[in-house]
């Protein structure tokens, strides 16, 4: 495992998370589970002692385990059959308690993992609140979605596995080693010194060989798929030149070679595994011989009874299993480490927009907006804006257009400070908006997104954004102004109708009018309206002209239009191309005088539908 992956996993899941706080309860439950398993083992050994009568009584030289088994197998006043039943019931109860405490420990481990996942998820969301508004192409949102879903699920699963192996398997290994040593420390050392060590090494080697075999099979499969894709792509070439037989022969040859290669991998893996399994059987047999010799050929050594031999062999097997599971910690941490690296890479990103120290309160727009030599470059390092200069007078409606939609969107997002320019300034009434507080800016500059997103909540909460002041009266006035009150009143519960999850779904036009009402309820001095790309219903289209007249009264409005009627009604049209303002004027003038504007209009509104950007060059 790379050091970087290990550090990333430890940063996400610290030792404190695994050893203290809620994890402490998990450790205690695993300790109880291990002790109950040991008790079950001793009761089964006592049952064997009673059933086969192999004890012969404990002496001063007997091991502690032998004396404990003798104590449990002492019938007292009970008959042999009744005592056997009591031991069986006791062992069953202990085993059930062992499983139950283990189940509680697993639930506790999942709870620890959930808390860690929730903590990381909250950190990702807080970071996305700072970075996400400037996600002009949606890449950051897609990236953080993967981080908050699949990556955190992987991290949580790894946390559960790590916590279980650190706690359960460590305690199990200690308990099994202690039991084996209490039976006979010298015999335990003989079993563990070579045979058990070889056995553990073989198990690890077998797992590693299997992983290499699967990787080789996967690589061969990818190569075979590439050859199949090449053959399928060349079908037209083969048919056109009449070489179908040659193409068919080559395809068959590739399939035969691929099959032979896979067969060689399988044979090599099978031979290696057979050798490892044979060595494993030999190592296990050596352990059985060492223990069996003490049971059958005791003198001159202290004899080993069957019950003690059972405890010893079971303890050695449990020790090897526990150590084998602990050996997987590195693999678990490596897989989770890659996810943790991606998470921390996003968390460590510097937000593109931040509030300046000593920022001042921005006054509402009264005169004009000025873009002064503004340059902005998105994540692909291709400048979207290049020293753009633009003045937008207050009180007018401006349609902001561009051949590349990112350019117009970047100009609009600069006004709300979703993004900041990499060069130049954006000024409102002569004040650089970067020197003002973000709160005062976004109180007076609001954007209506074209996708018409709605929160999960009631219509009223969506319009008021959860703010109680003004309440229903303010929401109703805004909805009436944008012609949304009529359809809202027809919803099952009116303004209290739930939207989103566990609620109803609105169409694109209804969501768009909800967005307009949400912005209008805040009464901003500057409103940026991005029209939806999806077709609107007939009711919305018929009402939009009057809605825009009401929204534009007494304020500055910047449109990112998708409807030609919106472009025609604007006081001024600004066309951005290659990162600069290429044309300004009214629609009817630009249609006559500008080839670029006519090209933009044709690509968007020709009779055959809008053309993709790639076709416009």
> What's the pLDDT at 608?
66
The strand pair at 526-530 and 445-448 is best described as: parallel
More confidently predicted of 199 and 345: 345
Residue 26: pLDDT band (50, 70, 90) is: very high
Q: How far apart are CA 269 and CA 272, in angstroms?
A: 5
CB proximity list for 198: less than 8 A, separation 6 or greater: 279, 283
Q: Is the pLDDT of residue 531 over 60?
A: yes
pLDDT at 158 (0 to 100): 92
* pLDDT score recorded for residue 616: 38
Percent of all residues in the chain with a pLDDT value above 70, rounded to a whole number: 92
Cα separation, 604 vs 342, whole angstroms: 39
What's the pLDDT tens digit per position in 396-447? 999 999 988 889 999 999 999 999 999 999 999 999 999 999 999 988 999 9
Cis peptide before 445 (omega within 30 of 0): no
The pLDDT value recorded for residue 107 is 93
The lowest-confidence range among 97-101, 353-357, 567-571 is: 353-357
pLDDT of residue 51: 75
Place of tokens 């590349």: 404
Is residue 466 within 8 Å of residue 475, measured between CB atoms?
no
Do strands 431-432 and 445-448 pair parallel, antiparallel, or not at all (unpaired)?
Answer: unpaired
Which residues face 574 on adjacent strands?
A: 400, 584
CB 561 within 8 A of CB 399: yes
DSSP state of 504: B
Residues 6+ apart with CB under 8 A from 176: 315, 316, 318, 319, 322
Q: Which residue has the higher pLDDT, 532 or 220?
A: 532
Say if residue 300 is preceded by a cis peptide, omega within 30 of 0.
yes
- 3-state SS of 212-252 is HHHHHHHHHHHHHHHHHHHHHHCHHHHHHCCCHHHHHHHHH
pLDDT for position 458: 87
d(CA 477, CA 489): 13
Query: What backbone torsions phi and psi does residue 199 show, to the nearest 5 degrees?
Result: -60, -45
Q: Name the CA dihedral angle for 603, 609, 610, 616, rounded to a multiple of 10 degrees.
A: -50
For residue 201 the two structure tokens come to 């090494």
pLDDT band at 278 (very low <50, low <70, confident <90, very high): confident
**Quick one: DSSP state of residue 422?**
S
Range scoring the smallest mean pLDDT among 170-179, 254-263, 385-394: 254-263
What confidence score (pLDDT) does residue 64 get? 84
Min mean pLDDT across 37-41, 107-111, 268-272 is at 268-272
Name the band, by pLDDT with cuts 50, 70 and 90, for residue 502.
Answer: low
Three-state SS for 384? coil
The string of pLDDT tens digits covering residues 40-91 is 999 898 888 887 765 555 555 677 888 888 888 776 666 778 888 888 999 9
Report percent pLDDT > 90 for the chain.
Answer: 35
Judge whether residue 1 has pLDDT over 80. Answer: no
Task: Please say if the pLDDT value at position 490 is more than 60.
Answer: yes
pLDDT given for residue 53 in this prediction:
63
Look-up: residue for tokens 């001159």? 300
pLDDT value for 385: 92
| Model pLDDT, residue 300 | 60
pLDDT-based confidence at residue 469 (cuts at 50, 70, 90): low
- Mean pLDDT for the stretch of residues 339-368: 88
Tens-place pLDDT, residues 549-567: 999 988 999 999 998 989 9
Shortest CA distance to 454 belongs to which of 464, 444, 446, 445? 464
What does the mean pLDDT of the chain come to? 85
| CA gap 188, 186 in Å, rounded | 5
pLDDT exceeds 70 at position 614: no
What integer is the mean pLDDT of 206-223?
Answer: 79
Q: What is the dihedral of CA 472, 475, 476, 480, to 10 degrees?
A: 180
pLDDT at 247: 83
Going by C-alpha positions, the residue among 23, 211, 46 that lies closest to residue 116 is 23
Structure tokens at 497: 């109708």
pLDDT over 80 at 451, yes or no: no
pLDDT of residue 302 exceeding 80, the answer is no
Per-residue pLDDT at 615: 37
Q: How far is CA 329 from CA 108, 164, 326, in A?
A: 19, 10, 6
Confidence of residue 254 (pLDDT cuts 50, 70, 90): confident
């Amino acid at each position: 495992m790379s050091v970087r992956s290990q550090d990333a996993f430890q940063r996400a899941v610290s030792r404190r998370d695994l050893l203290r706080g809620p994890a402490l309860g998990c450790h205690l439950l695993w300790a109880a589970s291990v002790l109950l398993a040991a008790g079950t083992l001793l009761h089964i050994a006592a049952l064997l002692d009673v059933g086969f009568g192999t004890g012969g009584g404990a002496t001063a030289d007997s091991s502690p385990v032998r004396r404990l088994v003798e104590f449990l197998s002492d019938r007292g006043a009970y008959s042999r059959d009744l005592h056997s039943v009591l031991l069986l019931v006791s062992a069953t109860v202990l085993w059930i308690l062992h499983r139950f405490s283990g189940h509680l420990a697993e639930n506790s481990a999942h709870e620890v993992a959930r808390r860690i996942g929730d903590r990381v998820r909250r950190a990702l969301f807080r970071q996305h609140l700072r970075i996400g508004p400037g996600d002009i192409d949606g890449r950051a949102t897609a990236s953080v979605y993967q981080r908050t879903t699949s990556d955190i699920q992987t991290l949580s699963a790894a946390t559960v596995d790590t916590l279980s192996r650190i706690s359960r398997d460590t305690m199990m290994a200690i308990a099994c080693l202690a039991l084996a040593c209490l039976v006979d420390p010298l015999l335990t050392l003989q079993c563990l010194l070579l045979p058990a060590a070889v056995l553990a090494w073989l198990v690890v080697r077998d797992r590693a060989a299997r992983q290499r075999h699967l990787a080789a099979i996967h690589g061969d499969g990818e190569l075979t798929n590439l050859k199949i894709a090449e053959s399928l792509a060349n079908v037209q070439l083969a048919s056109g030149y009449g070489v179908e037989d040659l193409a068919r022969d080559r395809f068959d040859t590739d399939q035969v070679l691929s099959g032979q290669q896979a067969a060689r991998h399988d044979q090599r893996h099978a031979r290696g595994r057979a050798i490892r399994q044979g060595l494993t059987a030999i190592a296990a047999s050596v352990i059985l011989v060492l223990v069996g010799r003490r049971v059958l050929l005791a003198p001159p050594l202290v004899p080993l009874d069957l019950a003690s031999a059972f405890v010893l062999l079971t303890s050695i097997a449990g020790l090897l299993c526990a150590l084998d599971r602990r050996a997987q910690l590195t693999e678990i941490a490596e897989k989770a480490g890659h996810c943790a690296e991606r998470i921390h890479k996003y968390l460590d990103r510097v937000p593109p927009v931040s509030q300046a120290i000593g920022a001042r309160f921005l006054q509402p727009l009264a005169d004009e907006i000025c873009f002064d030599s503004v340059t902005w470059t998105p994540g692909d390092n291709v400048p979207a804006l290049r020293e753009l200069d633009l003045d937008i007078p207050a009180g007018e409606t401006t349609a902001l257009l561009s051949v590349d939609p990112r350019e117009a969107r970047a100009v609009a997002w600069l006004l709300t400070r979703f993004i900041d320019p990499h060069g130049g300034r954006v000024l409102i009434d002569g004040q650089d908006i970067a020197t003002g507080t973000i709160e005062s800016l976004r109180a007076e500059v609001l954007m209506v997104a074209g996708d018409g997103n709605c929160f999960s909540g009631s219509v009223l909460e969506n319009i008021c954004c959860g703010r109680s002041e003004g309440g229903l009266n303010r929401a109703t006035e805004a909805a009436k102004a944008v012609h949304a009150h009529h359809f809202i009143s027809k919803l099952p519960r009116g303004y209290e109708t739930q939207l989103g999850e566990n609620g109803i779904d609105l169409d694109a036009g209804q969501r768009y009018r909800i967005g307009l009402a949400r912005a209008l309820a805040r009464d901003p001095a500057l409103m940026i309206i991005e029209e939806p790309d999806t077709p609107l219903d007939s009711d919305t289209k018929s009402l939009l002209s009057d809605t825009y007249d009401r929204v534009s009264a007494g304020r500055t409005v910047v449109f990112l239009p998708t409807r030609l009627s919106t472009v025609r009604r604007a006081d001024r049209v600004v066309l951005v191309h290659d990162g600069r303002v290429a044309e300004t004027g009214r629609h009817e003038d630009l249609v006559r005088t500008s080839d670029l504007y006519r090209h933009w209009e044709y690509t968007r509104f020709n009779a055959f539908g809008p053309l993709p950007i790639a076709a416009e060059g």
